[in-house]
Structure 1
């Protein structure tokens, strides 16, 4: 689907340390640079232990601490695990580049960078930092348990900004059991042929905002999975990829619930879908209270609107101010429905198949 779309979908992230005294606010910010703990930053030496030692010092520091991953350096690691509970607030100045090891050196199924049990963490790459997962060595291995690059678990009041994640073997950024996280100015880039490389994979989390970001992947730009609520995407450019998706619901848990999802001012370019809700085949997942409003652009196929619901039905579906046309001049597009109940106003194409 090649289009520009704006819509709302409602369903119900001491070495001898350099210390700086900030007299104006009476706090201390302790700086911990990984280069001071043995990191080489040459992209060839294994810097995993240097990062681990740095993190231990940061986590045990009282007050405000900053972990510096310096710019113009490339750090090869096999796995980073940043875990709380820490004694103070932590900021990660993520201006260098982290790269994955060979597939043989990367522990199967484990994310390259795991961050868990931290409150109030901030990460800022200043538009320079990020990580590369070397996913091309994994994508053709269908039997491999492919890992992701950046994983957040049980992190509350999280802020992540200005970083780039590329070529993940699987999902680029996964968010699990987090409450209150803002991801802004995130660049995600993998080729459209890379399998299951979701940009963001969100599960069992609430109050998550992804904004002003650019996501190119081989799967969903943002996947919102069961147990999630109050998920917001705004100002996201998606494509290539599969669009922004809720689900698949009911795939692993019959009582999957997702609510209060809002997608606004997002652009989809060369995606297979725009905004969609996915349920596992042969399940009776109920979908209700969904609004698509202010959606416009072009599509590649014959079907612009597809409301294919299970036997439980989709209820209170509202389509309003929809204008989707074919990208081929003169070709008509249509809508299809199955067990879908709702209303359609000011809609091109017309959706007469909605039940009342």
Structure 2
């Protein structure tokens, strides 16, 4: 047990320190940060991202994420650059150099060469001033109070750098007006790509043929039978013009029976329906439907309505999640 306490205590302390480090990055959102975002988004040249060691891993991730939001960004090996590949730097490019200390010699050498070639340099460092920040046109300070261990293992510093890198990506996406549909075009593979590229109308169970549509005044027993014929996890309550009034889920029926016994089956459906439930349009993207479902009170089925609020179908969370499975079997 003492060993368990020691392990958990160390892990909890690390999480507290790293959480604080993430919040401290708000202080880095200054004019230099905005300048870097605008330069990346403007694409006057390439954005090249470099680092050494742990910072190099974060540099690779930053370049990858920037590319995902449409920026012309690439990972740049400082070591290779110093051994014959400096010619890849062009006037108008932006070189982002990641170094906790701001003293990494390879990055200092690359920064000096970049400046000579008319390349703008941004330094993402923890220490300011530092040799790298003095050379750079832009300085992004990844602020931390301390590392999370006495051995100075890179912990809070790498977490801070990751958070600041993500802030850059989100800033560039906002500046470019980058949408989920744009992301889907850049990410066609895997489950995420399939979800981003799909529309609710292509995934929904169509109504009335595949969906239990019930009236608010019909007995719960009849609603249960309709849900048995159409096992989608819910019945949609509509008026005479098929406009959405409410929804009844399997869980609503179980809770009603548990609370009221058999007599519950003879009550009107309106007694257990959720009034004015969340819904979406058939032209909505699958990711938008997921966002509607995944709120504080998560739902797993969503009525699909047209412009006049008439029910045209029902989309289920597992329909969206199952798209990758269907693709792999197809």
TM norm structure 1? 0.17
Q: Which is strand-richer, 1 or 2?
A: 1
Greater gyration radius: 2
